[in-house]
Amino acid sequence: MPDADGTYALFLDFDGTLVDIVERPDAVVVDAGLPEILTRLEQKLGGALAIISGRPVEFLDGRFVPHEFDMAGLHGLEHRIGGRLSMCDPVEHPALRAMVKRLREIVAGKEGVLIEDKGCSVAVHWRLAPHEKEFALATAQAAVEALGGDYRVQHGKAVAEILPSAAGKGKVIERFLHEAPYKGRRPIFIGDDLTDENGFKTVNAHGGVSVRIGAGETIAKVRLGTPADLRHCLSTWAFEGSLPFKGDDC
């Protein structure tokens, strides 16, 4: 891989990739040095750096104040490119809004099963109650069947998310690659679970570099151990100038 930062576009998942996964979604902690690392890389890449997450853009912005990186939230339902923000309006999803209320009622008696309302999507978490996995999966599947073909289930680590069928990390990465400063660059996408596999597929199709964090079956070409390992790699790239991800390390 040639050391030519200007030829690459960097896309980064958030949970389980830039930060460690925690038991409760709202308890996530961003490493104190990460914003500076990302800012330095953004400058080296001529602005071609974006966070691609299932989280809402508003949530992510709150973790990186005062920085406002390019990003896609809710698996691409909302995104910001070059300061131009396109948001998803929950009002446009009345059936989903009604389903969120119904899901809260269904899991009310299941301690440790959490409903995360993201506005235009909803996630069913069972990390705090692993014995409720089958119940949570069945609940999410029944909900998406009731909503019809406009919605689908996206599986992740101890989570099943119900979101519009049009959403997907691969699709939104493709969108970024058609706009400046990403257009014409070789993409790098780093993620950690099933929600990132269609992003890896898109990046592989563009001759890019796909990086999986942690264990698990994947189509990614490179694997790193933990978010801490990734932060070290990114820091090396940002401050020492050496492009990482040439193998299963940096």
| pLDDT tens for the 250 residues of the chain, in order | 334 667 999 999 999 999 999 888 889 999 999 999 999 999 999 999 999 999 999 999 999 999 999 999 999 999 999 999 999 999 999 999 999 999 999 999 999 999 999 999 999 999 999 999 999 999 999 999 999 999 999 999 999 999 999 899 999 999 999 999 999 999 999 999 999 999 999 999 999 999 999 999 999 999 999 999 999 999 999 998 877 776 556 6
Side by side, which strands form the sheet with 114-117? Answer: 114-117, 122-125, 159-164, 151-156
pLDDT at 26: 86
- In order of their start, the domains of the chain are 5-88+167-240 (3.40.50.1000), 90-164 (3.30.70.1020)
Cβ(204)–Cβ(186) under 8 Å? Answer: no
**pLDDT score of 2:** 37
> CA 187 to CA 173: how far, in whole Å?
9
- Tokens representing residue 98 in the block: 């009604």
d(CA 41, CA 50): 11
Structure tokens at 33: 């040095």
Distance in angstroms (rounded) separating the CA atoms of residues 248 and 166: 33
Separation of CA 212 from chain center:
12
pTM of this structure: 0.89
Give the per-residue pLDDT at 108. 95
Residues tagged active-site:
13
Residues whose CB falls within 8 Å of the CB of residue 184, separated by 6 or more in sequence, listed in order: none
